[in-house]
């Protein structure tokens, strides 16, 4: 086999290997990518069905209910326009409070959001940028409805 032919085989093998590595990296990234949606977007059907995503907003006052098993919680999250019921099995973060910001990761079945993780904001002024943007848009939409 000539040196030129050996180099071509090595180059072809390297390209195949690089392509496989790139494919696996992109595939793993796509599977672990989690998008954020507001309750209004989820109810409008913009969120994926059967795939994990995050919702965020404010916990509705007096909506927190502990289920009979003692570890399952149910509460409502709103962006001031629409409200979604969230069910979470586990311990809620210490900073979780009604009337405060929250981000929950899980899946939507069309009527109930089942969370696998709940994150609470860490101080009085902080809200994730995506959640703050969703709340601001919902406020604008509600103001436009009242004006009409």
- 40 & 1 share domain: no
Report pLDDT for 117.
92
Does residue 103 contact residue 127 with C-beta atoms inside 8 Å? no
**Interatomic CA distance for residues 37 and 133, integer angstroms:** 10
Q: Cα angle at 110 between 107 and 113, to 5 degrees?
A: 35
- What is the domain-level CATH number for residue 45? 2.40.50.140
- 2 & 43 share domain: no
pTM above 0.75, yes or no: no
Report pLDDT for 137.
80
Report pLDDT for 106.
92
Residue closest to 78 by CA, chosen among 49, 41, 107, 114 = 41
- 26 & 98 share domain: no
Residues (pLDDT < 70) of the chain are 31-34, 121-128
* Domain count for the chain: 2
- 29 & 40 share domain: no
- 44 & 107 share domain: yes
Report pLDDT for 127.
63
Does residue 57 contact residue 131 with C-beta atoms inside 8 Å? yes
**Interatomic CA distance for residues 21 and 51, integer angstroms:** 25
Outline where the chain has alpha helix (H): 3-32, 39-43, 129-147
Q: Looking up tokens 């436009």, which residue turns up?
A: 144
Range of the domain at 10: 1-33
Report pLDDT for 122.
59
- 70 & 7 share domain: no
């Amino acid at each position: 086999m000539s040196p030129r032919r050996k180099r071509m085989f090595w180059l072809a093998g390297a390209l195949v290997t690089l392509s496989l590595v790139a494919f696996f990296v992109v595939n793993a990234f796509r599977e672990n990518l989690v998008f954020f949606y507001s309750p209004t977007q989820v109810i409008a059907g913009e969120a994926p069905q059967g795939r994990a995503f995050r919702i965020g907003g404010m916990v509705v006052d007096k909506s927190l209910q502990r289920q009979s098993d003692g570890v399952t919680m149910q509460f409502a999250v709103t962006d001031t326009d629409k409200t979604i019921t969230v069910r979470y099995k586990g311990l809620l973060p210490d900073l979780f409070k009604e009337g405060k910001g929250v981000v929950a990761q899980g899946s939507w079945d069309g009527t109930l959001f089942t969370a696998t993780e709940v994150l609470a904001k860490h101080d009085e002024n902080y809200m994730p940028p995506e959640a703050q943007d969703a709340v601001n848009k919902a406020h604008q939409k509600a103001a436009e409805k009242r004006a009409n």
